[in-house]
Amino acid sequence: MTVRTQLSRLSAQLRASKVLAMLLVGMSWVSCTTNATSSSKNVSAASILETIRKQEPVLLENVTIDGDLDFTTLATYPETESRRKVTIESPVFFKNCVFTGKVLAFSQRNDQTTLGDFRKNLTFLSCKFNREVNFQSITVSGFACFSKSQFNRLASFEGAQFGAEAYFDNTFFTQESRFQGAYFGKMANFWKSVWAGATYFQGAVLNGDTQFNLAEFRGNLDFSLCTTYGLLNFNYAQFTGRSIFDNCRFKNAVDFNNTTLKEASFKEAFFDTKASFVTVKSEAISFENAFFFSQKPILNFSDPRPATVNVTGARTATANTVPIE
C-alpha cells in the first residue's frame, strides 16, 4: 500500500470519527434546554458564564462574544491550600464565533491558582480568537474540538489533560503556542494545522495515534522529551524552522515520509519500532546517539541530500551503526 493510499484512508477515518462525535453531541442537546442559543450578532461573555452557572448547555453559532470569557470566575472548590478548581458541567459548543476578549480557564491571583475542569465536550469549531487563550492545566473529560479555528495571540494548552479525542485539524496558530506537558488520552488530530510562531510540546504524552500530516511549522518546534504510544505521523509536513525531537521515546511507529525538515535533531531519541524517513528533504539532520530497538530505521533522503547527516553514536539492537540511503 502506498503512502498516499494510507494517507487517503486515514483522512477518511478521521472525518468519519469527527462526524460521529459531532452527531453524538447534537443528540445530547435534543432533550436539553437551549436558552443559551442566540440569533443576535453580539453576545456578552458574562451572559455565557451565567448560562454555565445554571448548568445549562452553551450552544452558540455565528456570533461575536464581547468581553473576557473567564471560566475561572465561576464557583470554585479547593484542591490544596494554593490550588482551586472550577467544574464546568455544561457541554460547551461554539461555531463560527469571534472572541474579542481573552478566553481563560487558568488563572493565578493572590497566591491562588485556579484550573478549569470541563466534564462534557468542549468545542470551538471554526472560531477566531483575537486575544490570549489560556487553557493551561485544564481537564477535558469529553472530546475537545478546535478544528478550523484561528488563534491570533498566544495559545496555551500547557499541562492540559485531554481524556478523549482532541481535534486541532486545519487550525491556524498565528503566534506562539504551548503544549508542554500536555496529556492526550486518545487520538490527537493536528491534520493540516499551521503554526506560524514558536511551538512547544516538550514532555507531552500522546497515548493514541497522533496525526500531523500536511502540517506546516513556520517557526521553531520543540518536541523534545515527548512519549508517544500510538502511531506518530508527520507525512507531508513542512518544517521551515528548526525542529527538535531530542530524548523522545517513540513506543510505536514513526512516519516522516515525504516531509521537509529544514534542520532537525533526534539526539538520544529511542525508537521502539518502525522509524520511516522516506523521501525526506533536509538541510541538516541529526540522529546522534539515537537508539533503534527492534528494526533498522529507513533513512532515505531526496536530492539534494542534506549537507549534514549526523549518525554519530546511533545504533540498533543488533548493530553499532545506522545505514543511510
- The per-residue pLDDT string of the chain (325 residues; one tens digit each, 9 = 90 and over) reads 554 455 455 455 555 445 444 433 443 333 233 334 445 599 999 999 999 999 999 999 999 999 999 999 999 999 998 999 999 999 999 999 999 999 999 999 888 999 999 999 999 999 999 999 999 999 999 999 999 999 999 999 999 999 999 999 999 999 999 999 999 999 999 999 999 999 999 999 999 999 999 999 999 999 999 999 999 999 999 999 999 999 999 999 999 999 999 999 999 999 999 999 999 999 999 999 999 998 889 999 988 888 889 999 999 987 666 655 4
* pLDDT on residue 324: 54
* pLDDT on residue 303: 83
* pLDDT on residue 162: 98
| Strand 106-109, strand 161-162: pairing | unpaired
The pTM (predicted TM-score) of the whole model is 0.86
Measure the CA angle with vertex 151, ends 149 and 155; round to 5°: 120
Q: How many CA atoms lie within 13 A of 81 on its CB side?
A: 0
* pLDDT on residue 110: 86
Residue located via cell numbers 516522516: 256
* pLDDT on residue 320: 62
* pLDDT on residue 34: 32
**Which sign, positive or negative, has the C-alpha torsion 63, 67, 72, 74?**
negative
* pLDDT on residue 28: 38
What does the block give as the cell for 176?
A: 506562539
* pLDDT on residue 322: 62
